[in-house]
Amino acid sequence: MDALRVVGVLERIATRVGREAACELADGGVSAEAVATGLGTTHSKALMLLLTAQDG
């Protein structure tokens, strides 16, 4: 497998795992503030992540 294909596979895996994790957090009632702190991101980005997970 060449390097570009490996990168593509890893990106797809990371996206899928990220969505699944966000769903679990949203279902578990974890706050956007807690997600933002844990990921080192803004409240707005964490909120979007949780809301997107709930829609998916």
> For 3-45, how does the pLDDT look when each residue is reduced to its tens digit (9 = 90+)?
999 999 999 999 899 889 988 998 999 999 999 999 899 999 9
Work out the burial of residue 50: count CB atoms within 10 Å of its CB; fewer than 13 is exposed, 13-18 middle, 19 or more buried.
Answer: buried
Give the per-residue pLDDT at 54. 77
User: 46-53 long-range CB contacts below 8 Å, 24 or more apart?
Assistant: 49/22, 50/22, 50/25, 50/26, 51/26, 52/22, 53/19, 53/22, 53/23, 53/25, 53/26
Domain count for the chain: 1
Q: Is residue 56 pLDDT above 80, yes or no?
A: no
User: In terms of residue numbers, what domain contains 11?
Assistant: 3-55
Report pTM.
Answer: 0.68
**Measured between alpha carbons, how far is 12 from 35 in angstroms, rounded to an integer?**
22
Q: Is residue 49 pLDDT above 80, yes or no?
A: yes
